[in-house]
Amino acid sequence: MKKKNWPTHSILAIAIVATWIKTYVVYHTSFDMEIENIMQQVILFINPLSFLLLIYGLSLFFKRPKARNRYIVLTSIILSIIVYANAVFYRFFTDFITIPVLFQTSNFGDLGASAAESIFLTDIFYFMDVIVIIVALKWLKVGEKFTIVKPAIRKSYFVFSAAVLFLNLGLSEIERPQLLTRSFDREVLVKNIGSYNYHLYDLYIQSKSHAQRALADGSELVEVNNFVRSSQADPTEKTFGLAEDRNLIIVSLESLQSFVINNDMNGHEITPFLNSLTADEDTFYFSNFYHQTGLGKTSDSEFLVENSLYPLGGGAVFFTHSGNTFHSMAESLNEEGYFTNVLHPNNKSFWNRDMMYKALDIQKYYDENSYIVNEENSVSWGLKDAPFFEQSVDLMAEMPQPFYSRLITLTNHYPFTLDVEDQNIPEYDSNSNTLNKYFQTVNYMDEALELFFEDLKEKGLYDNSIIVMYGDHYGISENHNNAMSQYLEKEITPFESAKLQNVPLFVHIPNSGVGEEVTEVAGQIDVRPTILHLLGIDTSKDMQLGADLFSEEHEDFVVFRDGGFVTDELVYTKNVCYDSATGVEIAVESCQPYIDRAIQELGYSDQIINGDLLRFYDLKTGNLLIEEAEKEE
């Protein structure tokens, strides 16, 4: 049968349409993006097109058809890899890849087990457009004569491509004013400008941030400093110095969310030890405390606690800015004679910790080489929590006192694998294997914490210490909302998802007798000033955005990295304002003052980090070095 002659640029048209349709389908099947109206649906449909017209259209500059076709096939493969990488990443982090994440290659080995859980045989679909293009090249009879596309035709083609882009941006500006200047939410960017254009925008943002440091001269810090001083919260006499001269032990509780505290799973108590602490007379339990991490997850929580600054929106500060000047909590404690250290049985380069801890002025990092790690005492990500705590207490018993030790747990980490002998409660019975196993690993961590407290007592470290424990980030992502709806017996709306970012914070001061439940809205950015004030250390000159949780001037206001927030009366998430008490959507004007404040705080924090502005600040005097230089002149 004689093949039909197809127009010369049929392969180009097929490639654009195939990748366009595939991308749109992926938007709906692989990413949990809230589409609120027809306009958003239209924008989502057209936003891949301008980029695809441009990138595939470059084939028009090739003279030979074979070269054009090879370029089109190679381009489709690269685009498919980008889409697929985002899909797999989203399954794990419920977020989109950024440029800095791509350079975090030292983490890839440790992420292997988690990544394997997120790859399926059906993922061949993400390369469906490549298959369509190859089949078209094989079966369609297309003109193959040597030809140069006329400049007029190319010009018309790229004018059309630009017109589609401006249409996309125009509609997006109507739907989301000042999208590219005010949005901290990658989902909003992808919904409006498309996944491909988002990566170009991300490249621009990263380049801009690197340029910020090169061009910064310290004058940028003046406005930031004025804001910090005006919003500073003074400590109260009741709690300032309450734990003075004690050892400081901070425990980062991997993936622990508050919905398991004082709760059960099918009649099984999930966290009996932590439950007992919520009513302990020596423990402050913060029940309305939120994580504020971004893509850096655990490393972001470390950054927040150490510096009282927000993490970056497009990657982990631990990777992107480990060469910066910081004024960490460890630095302040070093000045007070503390031996500062971190204990974490993982590869020292994971999250670039070996480099970042030097920048944070942490004296010693006890990594996996400081522990006895073998198959019997390890699971999934490494050393189990119980032997980790046991060996860590042995290490702390040899430390000079007072010491500041931060311990980072591992067992309650996705994919929540646990040996049978450590399973004290059964799995849950939802359609989510992740949530089903989560309760078991949380229960194991809780038991390990109880043993940790006992070991501290046996080694004589307990009575002269303050023990701070906090959930570092969420454990159950929005991808498991159906299962969470089953467990919590209510629909998981965007409002409920925001509230589920609630993680526990415990401040345990043995023999103090002053513990209570604190219901104020609080976040990880508040931990640094709170702890330093408890230890009797003045922070009035520190460049920090958080506030002492015990201060009467502390504000019930927690900002998320995507620009959302929670107050005692309002919740703002995914561009919608809610009444905090009822979960009912209300007019966005009610949230607007806090929206502006959230953008301001995140912006100031980004300026400090991207410009490395703390190199222009004298922590001891509280003076801007640029001002001192001007006085000398």
CA distances for 262 relative to 18, 269, 276, 450, angstroms: 51, 8, 9, 16
Residue 379 pLDDT: 87
DSSP string, 7-47: PTTHHHHHHHHHHHHHHHHHHHHH------SHHHHHHHHHT
CB 437 within 8 A of CB 444: no
Residue 1 pLDDT: 43
Residue 176 pLDDT: 77
* Cβ contacts of 157 within 8 Å, gap of 6 or more: 53, 57, 60
CA atoms of 222 and 63, how far apart (whole Å):
57
* pLDDT above 70 for 182: no
* pLDDT above 60 for 150: yes
Q: Is 239 a catalytic residue?
A: no
Q: What is the mean pLDDT of residues 229-254?
A: 95
**Which position has the higher pLDDT, 179 or 383?**
383
Q: What is the mean pLDDT of residues 82-103?
A: 76
Could you say which of 283, 298, 409, 493 is catalytic?
Answer: 298
Place 632 in a pLDDT band, splitting at 50, 70 and 90.
very low
**Which position has the higher pLDDT, 139 or 425?**
425
Place 597 in a pLDDT band, splitting at 50, 70 and 90.
very high
Residue 419 pLDDT: 93
Three-class DSSP category at 312? coil
Using CA atoms in the order 408, 108, 116, 315, what is the torsion angle rounded to 10 degrees? 70
**pLDDT-above-70 percentage for the chain:** 91
Residue 546 pLDDT: 97
Q: List residues bridging with 378 in a β-sheet.
A: 383
Nearest to 218, CA basis, from 612, 600, 622: 612
**pLDDT-above-90 percentage for the chain:** 67
pLDDT tens per residue across span 481-505: 999 999 999 999 999 999 999 999 9
Say if pTM beats, i.e. exceeds, 0.75.
yes
**How many CB atoms sit inside 10 A of residue 305's CB?**
23
Residue 384 in tokens: 């189990």
* pLDDT above 50 for 387: yes
**How many CB atoms sit inside 10 A of residue 440's CB?**
24
CA atoms of 184 and 188, how far apart (whole Å):
8
Residue 224 pLDDT: 93
Residue 236 in tokens: 């109260």
CA atoms of 585 and 576, how far apart (whole Å):
7
pLDDT tens per residue across span 32-61: 887 878 998 999 999 999 999 999 999 988
* Cβ contacts of 357 within 8 Å, gap of 6 or more: 342, 365
Q: What is the mean pLDDT of residues 502-519?
A: 97
CB 104 within 8 A of CB 299: no
Q: What is the mean pLDDT of residues 165-176?
A: 88
Place 102 in a pLDDT band, splitting at 50, 70 and 90.
low
Residue 309 pLDDT: 97
Residue 10 pLDDT: 82
Backbone region of residue 269 per phi and psi (left: phi > 0; alpha: psi in -120 to 50; beta: other values) = beta
pLDDT tens per residue across span 402-451: 999 999 999 999 889 999 999 999 999 999 999 999 999 999 999 999 99
* 403-408/247-253 β-pairing: parallel
Q: What is the mean pLDDT of residues 472-487?
A: 94
CA distances for 208 relative to 83, 190, 212, 216, 584, angstroms: 25, 20, 6, 12, 39
Place 216 in a pLDDT band, splitting at 50, 70 and 90.
confident
Three-class DSSP category at 366? strand
Average pLDDT taken over every residue of the chain: 89
DSSP string, 250-261: EEEETT--GGGT
* pLDDT above 60 for 113: no
CA atoms of 111 and 441, how far apart (whole Å):
18
Amino acid at 319: F
Residue 471 pLDDT: 97
CA atoms of 314 and 326, how far apart (whole Å):
19
CA atoms of 500 and 578, how far apart (whole Å):
15
CA 342 to chain CA centroid, nearest Å:
21
Q: What is the mean pLDDT of residues 70-95?
A: 87
Say which residue the tokens 């001007």 belong to.
630
**Which position has the higher pLDDT, 319 or 587?**
587
Q: What is the mean pLDDT of residues 175-203?
A: 78
**Which position has the higher pLDDT, 185 or 230?**
230
Helix axes 221-230, 592-610, angle to 10 degrees: 130
CA atoms of 200 and 80, how far apart (whole Å):
16
* pLDDT above 70 for 461: yes
CA atoms of 224 and 219, how far apart (whole Å):
10
Residue 148 pLDDT: 66
CB 409 within 8 A of CB 345: no
3-state secondary structure 547-604: CCCCCCCCCCEEECCCCCEEECCEEEECCEEEECCCCCEECHHHCHHHHHHHHHHHHH
- Total H helices, total E strands in the chain: 24, 23
Q: What is the mean pLDDT of residues 238-251?
A: 97
Q: What is the mean pLDDT of residues 262-275?
A: 97
Place 571 in a pLDDT band, splitting at 50, 70 and 90.
very high
CA-only gyration radius of the chain, Å: 27
Q: What is the mean pLDDT of residues 325-335?
A: 97
Residue 33 pLDDT: 81
Place 93 in a pLDDT band, splitting at 50, 70 and 90.
low
